[in-house]
Structure 1
Amino acid sequence: MYYQTMISAQELKTIIDHDNVRVFDCRFSLKDPQGGINSFRAGHIPNAQHADMDTQLSAAMTATSGRHPLPEAEVFLQQIKDWGINNDTQVIAYDDMSGAFAARLWWMMRWFGHDKVAVLDGGLEKWTDQGYALTDQDISLPAGQFNGQANMEWCVDIDTVARELAAQTITLIDARSADRYSAKDQTTDPVPGHIPGASNLPFAGNLNADGTMAPPQVIRARFEQTIKDQPFNNVINMCGSGVTACHNLLAQAVAGLPPMKLFVGSWSQWIRDKSRPVATGE
């Protein structure tokens, strides 16, 4: 049995010592670039490796990219192997933000055709709530022999988004908070607001009050209300930099919806060009 979307703390506990399981700590702080690795070093789930958002799950930002561009395919393929992942490996990702960052690794593994990947439901908090131990010990693993290929049709570039929005042929879903989308939050983004025509479905709406993923039928109804009769292949997910949009993509998979697309550059790329239109309000 493989886990492909979510895994509970109890389920993870039963498989964590299996040879074909790889666990990744994806904790991250936008305001503190060292926050993730420092938290990992202070204590993490046993057998976990740290997956760094800025250096392993992203390429370096360029003058025209968003904040977290995807690595080149061959670079990430080598990273997968360096982590000790094979094609039969069960990959588990977790963070301390109910999957907001772990979902990026989940999506990237799926991007490479690896569906044996899941996010820890409720994150690190649910692990410790069960009384399960943390460790500060690193592990050393042999390189993996993973063989996969990135599906470039799963992501769209900024020119495609602009063109298809103008033609009214796509549904663009923004996973940022309502305050960031509406521009009530004047501090988080260098330019507050949203792309004209985008709909706002914050990733937090995918969650129960305790930070676990909401039931599939609840999530499905939430997205279908916005998607309506739009073909799923024409639905594009975005956020600030292509990270929390992956939580919406994860939630869509939990709900049994077909794979939709990711605008990796997202808002942080859109606003690099001052000539692009910006909308405010709800």
Structure 2
Amino acid sequence: MNTRIRSILVAALALLGSAAAQAVTLPGPVVSAQWLAQHQHEVNIVDVRSDPASFVKAPVFSTGKGAKTLSTLGGHIPGALLLDFGKVRVARMIDGRQIKWMLPDQATFQALMRGIGVKAGKPTVIVPEGASGADLDMAARVYWSMKVYGDDHLALLDGGTTGWLQQGLAFDTTPAATGDGTWAATAPRMKYVADSQDVAKAIGSGVQIVDARPMPFYVGLTKKPDIGQAGHIRGAVNLPPELRTASTGGAEHYLSPAQYQAIFKHLDIKAGKPSITYCNTGHLASGAWFVLSEVMKNPNTRLYDGSMLEWTAEQRPVVGLP
């Protein structure tokens, strides 16, 4: 076989392999444990942890009244890649100020995803710890970051690792493989990102500004130490975390579009209106962005990455209690 024919065959096999990798179609932005169990070898499984050490520890179950329940999270879905949430956000200089917990630049984020082993040519299912709504928001932050950098083949695992374990599905405690990823980031798609100028222009313009924090933060009863002033951005509506997910057997799950619509009516939130979500540092805002952009299919939804940390550092106006 001459060199030219061999090269053609190699290229053809590579294309076939790529097509096979892309063959699985995600059913939507949220997948069930049952779906992932059937397709786990066809996707990247990115396990997002606030406590990476729990990835290799055995889960602890308790038995009471004949029922086996998860009491301490541990282990992971076989084949999962470990992503430390502490590395998902970085400090960046903006107009001479250092703002913490921001989206990394293109090269840094690509290196992070390649470093944990994410492969190109495969959809990615992002797995939260799953015991709280904040866990789902961490996974949504990763989803948003990957989408900003060009990836549209993404889903979140409903219920996360907690739900997976509670259903008695197989788990592993071996260390995660690292360093051989091929995932590539594109230039950032800024249609998913808002900055302070975008938010300032949105006030009173018809763009919906959505505060994703608990109500005490929204009304100004309390604030995080790093935030300069209590309260919310003028004109913002509140979509608090406790109304974005619901607990079933100790695992947090997303609601249906119809359920969100019913909730939005009470909160004066319009599902299809151009929107910008924010919180204190862009964590909880990722959950609100995910609900509006992905579950409710509103493509005109942006996330204000700097959120109240940047807004108040710039001494922009805030509405709060007298």
Alpha-carbon distance in 1 for matches of 2:255, 2:270:
20
Cα distance change of structure 1 residues 8 and 228 upon mapping to structure 2, 3 Å threshold? closer
Alpha-carbon distance in 1 for matches of 2:236, 2:100:
19
- What does residue range 141-180 of structure 1 map to in structure 2 within 5 Å? 142-146=180-184, 148-165=186-203, 168-180=205-217
Is residue 162 of structure 2 the alignment partner of residue 132 of structure 1? no
SS in structure 1 at match of 2:246: coil
- What does residue range 79-98 of structure 1 map to in structure 2 within 5 Å? 79-96=112-129, 97-98=132-133
Alpha-carbon distance in 2 for matches of 1:277, 1:147:
35
RMSD over aligned Cα atoms: 2.7
Cα distance change of structure 1 residues 229 and 77 upon mapping to structure 2, 3 Å threshold? closer
Cα distance change of structure 1 residues 230 and 4 upon mapping to structure 2, 3 Å threshold? closer
Amino acid at match of 1:245: A
Alpha-carbon distance in 1 for matches of 2:148, 2:258:
25
Alpha-carbon distance in 1 for matches of 2:271, 2:148:
25
Alpha-carbon distance in 2 for matches of 1:250, 1:9:
19
Amino acid at match of 1:162: A
Amino acid at match of 2:296: A
Q: Which residue is equivalent to 1:117?
A: 154
8 Å Cα contact 2:209-2:277 kept in structure 1: yes
TM-score, normalisation: structure 2: 0.74
Shift of 1:94: 2.0
Is residue 43 of structure 2 the alignment partner of residue 26 of structure 1? no
Identity %: 26
Q: Which residue is equivalent to 1:11?
A: 35
Q: Which residue is equivalent to 2:82?
A: 50
Cα distance change of structure 1 residues 49 and 84 upon mapping to structure 2, 3 Å threshold? closer
Alpha-carbon distance in 1 for matches of 2:225, 2:257:
31
Q: Deviations over 1:220-249 (max 9, x none)?
A: 4444764549852xx111111112211112
Cα distance change of structure 1 residues 4 and 73 upon mapping to structure 2, 3 Å threshold? farther
Shift of 1:27: 2.6
Alpha-carbon distance in 2 for matches of 1:258, 1:187:
30
Q: Deviations over 1:134-159 (max 9, x none)?
A: 33312325321536332022211112
Cα distance change of structure 1 residues 24 and 75 upon mapping to structure 2, 3 Å threshold? same
Is residue 277 of structure 2 the alignment partner of residue 237 of structure 1? yes
Q: Which residue is equivalent to 1:185?
A: 222
Is residue 288 of structure 2 the alignment partner of residue 256 of structure 1? no
Q: Which residue is equivalent to 1:31?
A: none
Cα distance change of structure 1 residues 227 and 116 upon mapping to structure 2, 3 Å threshold? same
Alpha-carbon distance in 2 for matches of 1:257, 1:145:
26
Shift of 1:250: 1.7
SS in structure 2 at match of 1:212: strand
8 Å Cα contact 2:90-2:100 kept in structure 1: no
Cα distance change of structure 1 residues 265 and 199 upon mapping to structure 2, 3 Å threshold? same
Q: Which residue is equivalent to 1:265?
A: 306
8 Å Cα contact 2:208-2:273 kept in structure 1: no
Aligned pairs, how many? 268
Q: Which residue is equivalent to 2:91?
A: 60
Amino acid at match of 1:257: N
Cα distance change of structure 1 residues 251 and 228 upon mapping to structure 2, 3 Å threshold? closer
Shift of 1:111: 1.5
Shift of 1:215: 0.9
Q: Gaps spanning 5+ residues in structure 1: where?
A: 29-35
Q: Which structure has the highest strand share of the two?
A: 2
Cα distance change of structure 1 residues 90 and 220 upon mapping to structure 2, 3 Å threshold? same
In our comparison, the structure showing a higher alpha carbon Rg is 2
Cα distance change of structure 1 residues 198 and 67 upon mapping to structure 2, 3 Å threshold? farther
SS in structure 1 at match of 2:126: strand
